[in-house]
Chain A
Amino acid sequence: MGKIEWAMWANEQALAAGLILLTGGIVGVGGMFRGWEFAAYSIAAGVFVCLLEYPRGKKNKGTSVERTGQYCFTVCVKAFGPLTRNYYVRAFIHAAIAVPAGFMLATVLGCVCLGIASLIYLGAAISGEKWEPILPRTETRKAVGESIKQPPQNPPPRPPAEMRRKRAEDLEGAAYDNPIKVSTNDE
């Protein structure tokens, strides 16, 4: 029922996988285990994946929830254009990044998790999803003159002042009944 957006789940997985890669890499380098070069690589790879995946994409329908402080990351990721918009590219990048991390014990889990994320991104790409940046909507205030018709520039045509003044000899011809007694201008 309803279209599932796989990319959002893949995004969460990739972010978690990036953190796992980073942790595994730090442990590998810290203990100077065998193959610590792979651990150093996976620290860099983990940071890159986290930076790439931190900004959430816009949902197709409904409101999108941003991660805190993601605006600057959104701008950076958006700058790469189709490379980051297309999920096929992302799936391929994640798969490629994951492979070297599989050669060291401390980072092998990060490799597996990033591989799963890459598969889900592939699924998302096949369903036709795209990454849209969440940008703050610029409120366009409608200019007042456009929403209502142009106000008139001239007053309505009225007879000249002498005609408008009430004539004492022609009180019945006056256009309206004044509640207050009218006196002529002579008084």
Chain B
Amino acid sequence: MVLSFKSWFANEGGKHFVLILWLGANAWLFLRTFLTYSTGQQYYYLYKMLGLGLCISRASASVLNLNCSLVLLPMCRSLLTCLRGTHTLSSRGTRRLLDKSKTFHVACGIAICIFSVVHVSAHLVNVVNFSAFYSEDLPALNLARYLGEDPRMIILTTVPGITGVLLVVILFLMFTASSYCIRLSNYEIFWYTHNLFIVFYIILMVHMVGGALKYQTNVDTHPPGCLRPNQSSPELQGEELEPGNEERRCKEEARFHPHYPQTWMWVSGPLCLYCAERFYRYIRSSDPVTIVTVIRHPSEVIEVRMLKRDFKAHPGQYIVLNCPGVSSFENHPFTLTTCPTEEKETFGVHMRVVGDWTERFTELLLPKTGVELEILPMVQQRRYPKLYVDGPFGSSSQEVFNYEVSLCVAGGIGVTPFACVLHALLDGWKQFRLRRLYFVWVCRELQSFYWFSELLCALHHKLWQENRPDYLNLKLFVSQTEDLQSMSEEKYRPLSSRLSIGRPRWKLLFDEISNANRQKHVGVFCCGPKGISRTLHKLCNSGRYTGVTFEFNKESFS
């Protein structure tokens, strides 16, 4: 039990700590604002008129302020890439938290939706109360123009009302387009509705203009609940006024002043940061790349090698491609499979042709003549379409070099981040912390292994020559077991001898790794189908392996 807690804590502890911090901040803000409005002297008359609706609406508004400002921060991808790369966050655990930035964004978004519902309901009750309890004594406090004014008219004729309705409509559109199903099938709907956020924020900042809720400014001279000059206290009817009662007489009428809009203070910082980041990314990607080679690989994969001025990347990072010849507004992420080095400045991606964008892109790049390999010298370049590259952006696979022992599990085309890692080991060897790499690659068809067969064999030979045979432990699996398959070429002997038919047995693999690497932290990196990553995550948390901690890192795009 203790062992599994240690593993669970190593894997999940950081995330849950941030979650508890965030929930605590929300709860504290909610309670503090609630108590201010329910017990504060300056809100005494307003609270008498509106009741609990006032406190709940204002408390949820402050929570909304916090979440609307926090929701933008995880989406500043270039900033997060900088934080991850320059090791300003020196602890590996803190860098692992950056992997969960999208989850945090979703959590803040859901909180915004829930508290918007609370806020709107409470304000609807407030509007009803403004209309029903119209105060003749304190005319400055009223929002309604007369007693019993139709609440719907109040909403439609005040700035907070109209802006509130618009905000709810925009939030409804954004929220309904963000479900997993829609992101998977019609990503454009999600992208375009989510870009309405700028309208949302502008309207949010003017939402409080008009001052519907007012606080009392002269609490010292007019203590709330004090007796007016022509009023007498109910329990002292007809009696002499005691000297102590003098303080209970109002020295002057209550004066009210509307609130200063506060939302812009919360929101403008992150909004400016995010807009600056989008602008920076736009400028950075405005320089088109030069396509150097296009290679067609088996199993519907093409490799594109490109050149760009001042492009630097680390293994494991990904770029976003935009090809106006295919679609002006679509951006698609692809992991880099080769990074630019000092000797070779080209960088490349492997992309699987599935879906209309990749099909059209392939048509533009390669003719349909079925030519296997097409490499032309740059002078005689064919007319490749214009291509823009945004990035590189960081991902969890960058941490492979920061563990002493790493297990990389790839499913099909998910091998791309690890291919970049292997290229870095082959070409740009530095003094890495990594001492041993277990590489497991599971594919449906044997042909898929030919994407990187040269790379794997070259690296294997290099490590054998340098007398480090145990540095790279390669295991290849073919999951479709129908035909008898093998790689028959002699030069791929290291691969065919490490090829197994059938799915891998993860428990045995983990047993083998933990027996050979005692008292170590093993980084587990998975880029593949959900089934595999769920199994691996459970095994990493299970804590059956004494002395060895498996830390799970997952890479995904959707």
Report chain A residues within 8 Å CB of B355: 2
B324: min CB distance to chain A, Å: 11
Closest to A67 in B: B181
- Residue B127 CB within 8 A of the other chain: yes
Query: Is the CB–CB distance between A12 and B179 below 8 Å?
Result: yes
A93: min CB distance to chain B, Å: 19
Report chain B residues within 8 Å CB of A4: 186, 188-189
Query: Is the CB–CB distance between B175 and A1 below 8 Å?
Result: no
C-alpha spacing A56/B182, complex, angstroms:
12
Query: Is the CB–CB distance between B152 and A108 below 8 Å?
Result: yes
- Residue B357 CB within 8 A of the other chain: yes
Within 8 A of A (CB), among B173-212: 173, 175-177, 179-182, 184-186, 188-189
Of the candidates B185, B189, B357, the one whose C-beta lies within 8 Å of that of A59 is B185
- What mask results when residues 70 to 114 of chain A are scored 1 for a CB within 8 Å of chain B, else 0? 000000000000000000000000000000000001101100110
- What mask results when residues 5 to 22 of chain A are scored 1 for a CB within 8 Å of chain B, else 0? 110110011001000000
Query: Is the CB–CB distance between A8 and B181 below 8 Å?
Result: yes
Report chain A residues within 8 Å CB of B176: 9, 12-13, 16
C-alpha spacing A33/B176, complex, angstroms:
29
Report chain B residues within 8 Å CB of A13: 172-173, 176
- Residue B326 CB within 8 A of the other chain: yes
Closest to B120 in A: A109
Query: Is the CB–CB distance between B127 and A105 below 8 Å?
Result: yes
- Residue A179 CB within 8 A of the other chain: no
C-alpha spacing A5/B187, complex, angstroms:
10
Closest to A27 in B: B121
C-alpha spacing A8/B165, complex, angstroms:
24
C-alpha spacing A13/B171, complex, angstroms:
11
A8-B168 in contact given A1-B357, A106-B124 (Cβ < 8 Å): no
Report chain A residues within 8 Å CB of B175: 16
Query: Is the CB–CB distance between B127 and A116 below 8 Å?
Result: no
Closest to A66 in B: B181
Query: Is the CB–CB distance between A105 and B124 below 8 Å?
Result: yes
- Residue B360 CB within 8 A of the other chain: yes
- Residue A159 CB within 8 A of the other chain: no
Report chain B residues within 8 Å CB of A16: 172, 175-176
Query: Is the CB–CB distance between B121 and A1 below 8 Å?
Result: no
A124: min CB distance to chain B, Å: 11
A134: min CB distance to chain B, Å: 12
- What mask results when residues 128 to 147 of chain A are scored 1 for a CB within 8 Å of chain B, else 0? 00000000000000000000
Query: Is the CB–CB distance between A112 and B169 below 8 Å?
Result: yes
Within 8 A of A (CB), among B139-177: 151-152, 165, 168-169, 172-173, 175-177
- Residue A126 CB within 8 A of the other chain: no
- Residue A160 CB within 8 A of the other chain: no
- Residue B327 CB within 8 A of the other chain: yes
- Residue B128 CB within 8 A of the other chain: yes
C-alpha spacing A105/B180, complex, angstroms:
32
Query: Is the CB–CB distance between B168 and A109 below 8 Å?
Result: yes
A8-B356 in contact given A16-B172, A108-B152 (Cβ < 8 Å): no
Closest to B121 in A: A27
- Residue B252 CB within 8 A of the other chain: no
Report chain A residues within 8 Å CB of B128: 33, 105
How many residues on the A side are at the interface (Cβ–Cβ under 8 A)? 24
- Residue A62 CB within 8 A of the other chain: yes
C-alpha spacing A65/B184, complex, angstroms:
10
Report chain B residues within 8 Å CB of A9: 176-177, 182, 186, 189
C-alpha spacing A6/B185, complex, angstroms:
11
Closest to B151 in A: A105
Query: Is the CB–CB distance between B172 and A8 below 8 Å?
Result: no
Report chain B residues within 8 Å CB of A6: 189
- Residue B330 CB within 8 A of the other chain: yes
Query: Is the CB–CB distance between B186 and A1 below 8 Å?
Result: no
Report chain B residues within 8 Å CB of A59: 185
C-alpha spacing A33/B326, complex, angstroms:
56
A1-B189 in contact given A8-B181, A13-B176, A116-B172 (Cβ < 8 Å): no
Query: Is the CB–CB distance between B327 and A56 below 8 Å?
Result: no
- What mask results when residues 119 to 136 of chain B are scored 1 for a CB within 8 Å of chain A, else 0? 011001001100000000
C-alpha spacing A33/B151, complex, angstroms:
12
Report chain A residues within 8 Å CB of B152: 105, 108
B87: min CB distance to chain A, Å: 39
Report chain B residues within 8 Å CB of A112: 165, 168-169
Report chain A residues within 8 Å CB of B356: 1-2
Report chain B residues within 8 Å CB of A108: 152
Query: Is the CB–CB distance between A5 and B121 below 8 Å?
Result: no
A18: min CB distance to chain B, Å: 12
Most buried by B among A2, A5, A12, A59: A2
Report chain A residues within 8 Å CB of B127: 105
Closest to B168 in A: A109
Query: Is the CB–CB distance between B357 and A113 below 8 Å?
Result: no
A32: min CB distance to chain B, Å: 12
C-alpha spacing A33/B152, complex, angstroms:
14
Closest to B113 in A: A16
Query: Is the CB–CB distance between B124 and A5 below 8 Å?
Result: no
C-alpha spacing A148/B268, complex, angstroms:
72
C-alpha spacing A109/B161, complex, angstroms:
13
Report chain B residues within 8 Å CB of A23: 117
A113-B124 in contact given A1-B327, A4-B186, A62-B185 (Cβ < 8 Å): no
B residues contacting A by CB (< 8 A) are 117, 120-121, 124, 127-128, 151-152, 165, 168-169, 172-173, 175-177, 179-182, 184-186, 188-189, 326-327, 330, 355-357, 360
- Closest 3 CB pairs between A and B? A1-B327, A2-B356, A12-B176
Between-chain CB contacts (< 8 Å), 23 pairs: A1-B188, A1-B326, A1-B357, A2-B356, A2-B357, A4-B186, A4-B188, A5-B185, A8-B182, A8-B186, A9-B186, A12-B181, A13-B173, A16-B172, A16-B176, A27-B121, A105-B127, A105-B128, A105-B151, A112-B165, A112-B168, A113-B169, A116-B173
**16 further contact pairs, Cβ within 8 A, besides A13-B173, A65-B180, A116-B172:** A1-B357, A1-B360, A2-B356, A8-B182, A8-B186, A9-B186, A9-B189, A12-B181, A13-B176, A16-B175, A33-B128, A59-B185, A62-B185, A105-B127, A109-B120, A112-B169
